[in-house]
Amino acid sequence: MRTLRTLTTAVLAGAALFGTAGTVVADSPSPSPSTRTDGEAPAPTEAGTSFRTATAIIPDQRATADASTGDYLYWVLPVDAGQRATVKAKVTLPQSARHGTATWQLDVYDGLRRRQACQYGARTRAAARDAGSVELSCTLRTVRAWSEPWANDPLPGSYYVRLTVVDLPKDDLGLPVHAEVNATLADQGGAHDVDGTLAAPLVPGASTAAPEAQESAAPGKPAALGEPDGGWSSGGWSDRWIWTAAGGVLAALGGIAGYRFTAGSGRPSRVPPGA
């Protein structure tokens, strides 16, 4: 009788458990059709016209914008310590007859709005009168976690991308163009680490709004800048620590091996005469 009662209790408990699980599954909200499953915001289709209205983008995201020849186009993205940013831009020129050569330029500024030099790439290119497009690129130096106040080293924070035409016939001003911008980041490892770190990344006027809030921001307002994946490191972790620890272990093992080799067994190799 006791065994039957125990089995009955177990069956009732199992039924209650499955009933609760079914209720939980039923109450779970289904994903909205408008929500992307990859968690990434759609690529921007417009650009800002100044530093304050720069359009926020993320690495490996192709941003586009339709503009007029002569406009200043601005985008902004976060770059962390130990990363080397490469920005590429392509401008599709109008098919209508143009009056001469147009020179386009790609500039990258850090969070202090200091223009950073391009280590590689062609940041300025001239498009012939009959050219259909022009492509530019700029690879910055590796971002440092800390720098001297007088230095112009790239530091972690916001990086502004500016694309514009710097020389063209006046009659070609205002012609429609289509711009594409893509930024990629490459981790350079602990070889570029320094001992100091910034108190905070250089992100002027940035808010901590989510990407959904950035999409709903009103035009003309400062862009809400995001953070790199995993947050700002600012030199907090690096493979330099691994190499340092490995070097210490190898040095200790080398010291032990050297001691054992030179010390020997501790006994004299020859017995002194008369001993």
pLDDT exceeds cutoff 70 at 274:
no
Domain with residue 69: its CATH number is: 2.60.120.380
- Residue 173 placed within a domain: yes
Residue-wise pLDDT for 13-26, tens only, equals: 444 433 433 333 33
Half-sphere exposure (CA, 13 Å, Cβ side) for 117?
Answer: 5
Q: Chain centroid to CA 161: how far?
A: 14
Query: Are the C-beta atoms of residues 87 and 137 closer than 8 Å to each other?
Result: yes
Residue 144: band (very low, low, confident or very high) from pLDDT cuts 50, 70, 90: confident
The DSSP annotation for 12-71 comes to HHHHHHHHHHHHHHHHSPPPPTTS-TT-PPPPP---BSSSTTPEE--TT--EEEEEETT-
User: If you average pLDDT over residues 136-142, what whole number do you get?
Assistant: 95
In terms of pLDDT, which residue wins out, 6 or 275?
Answer: 275
Task: Give the residue-averaged pLDDT of 265-270.
Answer: 56
Would the pLDDT of 262 be above 90?
no
Least confident of 94-103, 166-175, 194-203, 246-255: 194-203
pLDDT at residue 242 above 60?
yes
pLDDT tens sequence across 35-77: 343 456 688 999 999 999 999 999 999 999 999 999 999 999 9
In a domain, 78, yes or no: yes
Q: Would you state the pLDDT for residue 70?
A: 94
Question: Residue 124: is it exposed, middle or buried by C-beta count within 10 angstroms (0-12/13-18/19+)?
Answer: middle
Amino acid 204: pLDDT? 79
What's the number of domains the chain is made of? 1
The pLDDT > 90 percentage for the chain reads: 42
* C-alpha dihedral sign at 148, 224, 79, 227: positive
Is 105's pLDDT higher than 90? yes
Distance CA 144, CA 142 (A): 6
Token pair for 246: 């490995």
Residue with tokens 């990629």: 184
Q: What span, in angstroms and rounded, lies between the C-alpha atoms of 106 and 123?
A: 5
Specify the DSSP class assigned to residue 216: T
Q: Is residue 75 part of a domain?
A: yes
Mean pLDDT of the chain: 76
Task: List the structure tokens of 97.
Answer: 């007859």
Where in the sequence is the domain holding 125, given as residue range(s)? 40-190
Neighbouring C-beta atoms of residue 116, cutoff 10 Å: 20
pTM as predicted: 0.67
Three-state secondary-structure class, residue 10: helix
Asked if the structure places residue 245 within a domain, the reply is: no
Do the domain assignments include residue 169? yes
Does residue 185 carry a pLDDT above 90? yes
Residue 114 lies in a domain: yes
| Selected residue with higher pLDDT from 28 and 256 | 256
Residue 84 domain-assigned (yes or no): yes
Q: Where residue 265 falls among pLDDT bands split at 50, 70, 90?
A: low
Please check whether residue 115 lies inside any domain of the structure: yes
Take residue 141 and report the two structure tokens written for it: 């130096």
pLDDT band at 234 (very low <50, low <70, confident <90, very high): very low
